[in-house]
Chain A
Amino acid sequence: MRGIIAVHGGAGRLRKSLLESRRELEEGLRDALHAGMSALATGSSLDAVEAAVRVLESSGIFNAGKGAALNAYGQVELDAGVMFGRDLSFGAVAAQRYTWNAVSLARKVMELTDHILLVGPGADELAKRLGMELHPGPTERARKLYEELLEAVKKGEHDLWRKNRSLLLSPPGD
């Protein structure tokens, strides 16, 4: 059988914590590749990429799905997109908070709607109507990183969001 599947997690600067979780991350990549290869043996490349990404979302160790990083208010908001090269069909969700399985919801947008992208409450509504699994809430790891980064912003050490800094330091409400 011809065919190939490739996966990725994040990319960026080397952090000590990453080397400590190296084995876990490699294991997660391998699990995703095996899921993708199984799907490729019986289905299409679209089935394969969805199966592989679903494993990565479910693992809780990558910045997606159950393991997602948190926004400025400590909330999970997920984006996902899928594309099928045969007819350029496309489906995506953005700023979605209901389900951890954003990639499967993105595929549902492609297959069940006339649209290519549903965002926020509209995406949540579709996930709910389809009975998709609720997101279990932030992992301990995501919450810890969030606290650390918020501390760094307050000390002026976090260089990624320069313009947002004033907004980050004065969240809404009392």
Chain B
Amino acid sequence: TVGAVALDSDGNLAAATSTGGISLKLPGRVGDTPLPGAGVYAENGVVAISATGVGELIARYLAAFRVAELMRRGTPLAEALGQVVSNMTNFFGRRNTVGLIAVDATGAYGEATNCEVFLRGFAKPGEPVKVGVLAEE
């Protein structure tokens, strides 16, 4: 799975996610990626989010929507992402299942994962591009 989130100079937030799905999936299987509020979500004034991981769990948990809901009620970006990933990990009792990237209405970047590997990066005008492969980078 791949994805992107962005904030433009008009203050519009957007998110996009795309995937081949999980290897050996049954034909016709659909995960979280094309479902609004599951693997992809964007709402001006709140947050843009894109998810990767085990689509069945992300979709059942509605991970993107939960982050947006926490932020709508005033929880800051980093805390909202951390809470949703940790609660989802506890609920399903499984690690290596989700990675989230997000930007909020102020242009702050946030990420959270329960995986060993999480390919991601971000760029701001006038700043060097940052990328990471291992989750702890």
Contacts and interface: CB of A to CB of B under 8 A. Distances in A.
A9 B96 CA distance: 14
Contact of B14 (A49, A93, A150, A167): A49
B122 A46 contact: no
A44 B8 CA distance: 6
Contacts, number: 319
**Could you say which interface size class chain B belongs to?**
35 or more
Given A18-B133, A77-B21, A82 B40 contact: yes
Interface in B24-64: 24-31, 33-36, 39-46, 48, 50, 52-54
Given A49-B6, A120-B28, A12 B122 contact: no
A72 B40 CA distance: 25
B4 A6 contact: yes
A73 B27 CA distance: 7
Contact of A77 (B25, B36, B103, B107): B25
A92 B35 contact: yes
A80 to B, nearest CB: 4
Interface string A58-90: 000011110111111101111111111110101
Given A1-B125, A84-B14, A6 B5 contact: yes
Contacts of A124: none
Given A8-B120, A29-B120, A79-B34, A2 B23 contact: no
Interface SS, A side: mixed
Interface SS, B side: strand
Given A45-B12, A49-B14, A83-B41, A7 B121 contact: yes
A33 to B, nearest CB: 4
A28 to B, nearest CB: 8
A7 to B, nearest CB: 5
Contacts of A70: 20, 23-24
A157 B122 CA distance: 36
A82 B41 CA distance: 8
Contact of B2 (A9, A117, A158): A9
A52 B15 CA distance: 11
B13 interface: yes
A4 B120 CA distance: 14
A4 B9 CA distance: 9
27 contacts: A2-B7, A5-B6, A6-B111, A11-B99, A13-B115, A14-B134, A29-B120, A32-B121, A36-B4, A36-B123, A40-B9, A46-B14, A49-B15, A52-B4, A53-B18, A56-B4, A64-B1, A64-B20, A75-B27, A77-B27, A79-B34, A82-B16, A85-B45, A93-B34, A94-B33, A120-B28, A161-B25
Given A6-B103, A46-B12, 12 more contacts: A3-B124, A8-B1, A10-B1, A14-B117, A44-B8, A44-B10, A49-B15, A65-B20, A86-B44, A95-B28, A142-B20, A153-B24
The 8 closest A-B pairs by CB, nearest first: A68-B20, A11-B99, A9-B119, A92-B34, A85-B13, A6-B122, A56-B2, A45-B14
